[in-house]
Structure formats: C-alpha cells, structure tokens
Amino acid sequence: MDLASFLIQCLNSLQYGLLLFLVASGLTLIFGIMGVINLAHGSFYMIGAYMAYALAPIVGSAFGGGFFATLFVGLVLSVVLGYVLEWVFYSYLYEREHLQQVLMTYGLILVFEEIRSLLVGDDVHGVQPPDILTGTIALGDVMTYPVYRLFISGVCIALALGMYWVFSRTRMGMMIRAGASNREMVQSLGIDIQFLYRVVFAAGVAIAVLAGMVAAPVSSVYPGMGNSVLIICFVVVVIGGIGSIRGALLAALLIGFVDTLGKVLLPQAAGVLVYVLMALILLWKPDGLFKA
C-alpha cells in the first residue's frame, strides 16, 4: 500500500472512529448517568439514517430546503422522540434490574424495526450528500480526499467539543454530573432530576440520530444497520470503560483504526479483529481503560 492509500485509510479510520464515538457516547452517558442499558440505541442510529432518506423529499417540497434543512428537521424530531420515549418508556426502567432493561429494550428494537418496515419498507437506499459537500479536495500534494467525509469528521469533533463544554462549563452539565453520582441529594436540592434525565436522554437520542443522518451518504441505509452499530458500540463502551466519555473516545478511535485498516490488510479476519482487541484489553484491564 502506498503512502497516499495509507493516509486515506487513516483518515477513513478517523472518520469511522469519530462517528462511533458519537453514537457510543450516547450509550455510555445513558448508562453512566441513568443506569439504563439501552439496547435500542442502535435503532436511533438507524432511524437517523432512514430519516435522512425519507425526510429529504418532504423537506424539499414543503420548505424547499436541502440537506441541511433535513438535518435540522431530523434533529428537532429526534429531540421530541427522545423526550417522549423517556417519559413514556425509559423512565420506568431506571429502577429495574439490568436483565429486565436488556430485555425490554430488546423488545423495543423489534418494535422499531417493524415500525420502520411499515413506514418506509425494507429496501436499501442511498442518500446523496449536498452539492457543496460532494467531490474531493486536495490534501497537500499527496492525495485527494472526499469532502463529505471531512465534513462528517468535522461534525463529530464539533459535537464532541460541544458535549465537553456543556459538561464541564455549564450549570446544566454540573447538575447532570451531580445527578449521576447522587440522585437523592440533587433532588433534595430542589433540582428536578426527572427533567434532567429527560434532557440527557433526549440529547443522547438526538446525537445518535444525527450520527445516522450524517453517516447515511457514506454508509447507505439498510435495515440491519442499527444492530451492527449497536454491538460495536458495546465493544467501544466495554473497552473504554462504562460511563467514561474519554474512554469512549479513545476506544472508538482504536476500533476505528483496527477495523478499517484490518479490512484493508486482512479482509477475512477483519470482523473478528475488533473482538480480539477487546479480549486482549479485558485481560489487562477488566473494567475497561478508564473509570467513569
């Protein structure tokens, strides 16, 4: 493999890793802060991708908007979806055992898959990136790289920085962190923990949906995409350490590189490599790389 190809694969790894981080951070947050294992998290990613496909014509004819307008509408819808879901379903899971959470959210996956099937069908679709983001851009003299993929990485980085800022610099972030370590205390201080959880959950859903929407042009839109991303996200969270955003970032990038480069260098072993990596890391650190 020559230098240009290698660099391209590295950028691809980075982009995939960042996307994984985005989805995994929602998963680890929801578990770290609310103590809920949400198997349906991958479904939100799938919903995002299908939204990118299905909403585009609607947004186009109703508002005359393009890709970014669709993104915005999808974001708004996902926040509403997350808010309602937490209120109607997830808030009942906080007190339950992990096994029950696993099974109830598993049931939810099935429900989401079928609702999607009823609304949009089971076909595989492609989504076009917006015109200003198509094409390639030259990176130095060595190579050219698709603009859209850079856009994806950019969005992920922006969101990651946004999350960091909210958690460490805002009052809301502080309350969320406090609520994660001591729910009763926060409540007795007069802070509405229920509202807080709803906000966190809605944010987690929105991030996953956005990731799906943004990824749709490069990964295509197909029925099983939620499940595949979910399991990889589990591996990210296990390697990174449950509840740790730092860990999720490091683990996601690690997996991004191992998986992408693996597919190029050892195509037959590629699927297994990520799990071998997880096994090795667990041998060394059974609780993952970082604590929450």
- Residue 187 burial class via C-beta count within 10 angstroms: exposed 0-12, middle 13-18, buried 19 and up: middle
- Examine residue 172 and tell whether it contacts another protein (CB under 8 A): no
Instruction: State both tokens at 271.
Output: 């699927």
- Using the contact rule CB under 8 A, the part of the chain among 48-56, 78-86, 105-113, 135-143 near another protein is 105-113
- Using the contact rule CB under 8 A, the part of the chain among 96-104, 160-168, 186-194, 198-206 near another protein is 96-104
- Examine residue 279 and tell whether it contacts another protein (CB under 8 A): yes
d(CA 191, CA 63): 39
- Examine residue 185 and tell whether it contacts another protein (CB under 8 A): no
Q: What share of the chain is helix, strand, coil (3-state, %, to 5)?
A: 75, 5, 20
For residues 51 to 90, the per-residue mask of contacts with another protein, x marking binding by CB under 8 A and - elsewhere, is: ----------------------------------------
- Residue 60 burial class via C-beta count within 10 angstroms: exposed 0-12, middle 13-18, buried 19 and up: middle
Strands (E), 87-236: 136-139, 143-146
What is the nearest approach in angstroms of another protein to the Cβ of residue 23? Answer: 15
The contacts of residue 269 (CB under 8 Å, 6+ apart) are 262
What is the nearest approach in angstroms of another protein to the Cβ of residue 271? Answer: 3
Identify the residue among 49, 225, 238, 248 touching another protein (CB under 8 A). 238
- Examine residue 138 and tell whether it contacts another protein (CB under 8 A): no
The conformational region for residue 76 under phi > 0 = left, psi -120 to 50 = alpha, else beta, is alpha
Instruction: State both tokens at 20.
Output: 């994984």
- Examine residue 286 and tell whether it contacts another protein (CB under 8 A): yes
d(CA 222, CA 255): 22
- Examine residue 266 and tell whether it contacts another protein (CB under 8 A): no
List residues near another protein by CB under 8 A: 31, 37, 92, 98-100, 102-104, 106-111, 113-115, 117-118, 227, 231, 234-235, 237-238, 242, 268-272, 275-276, 278-279, 282-283, 286-288
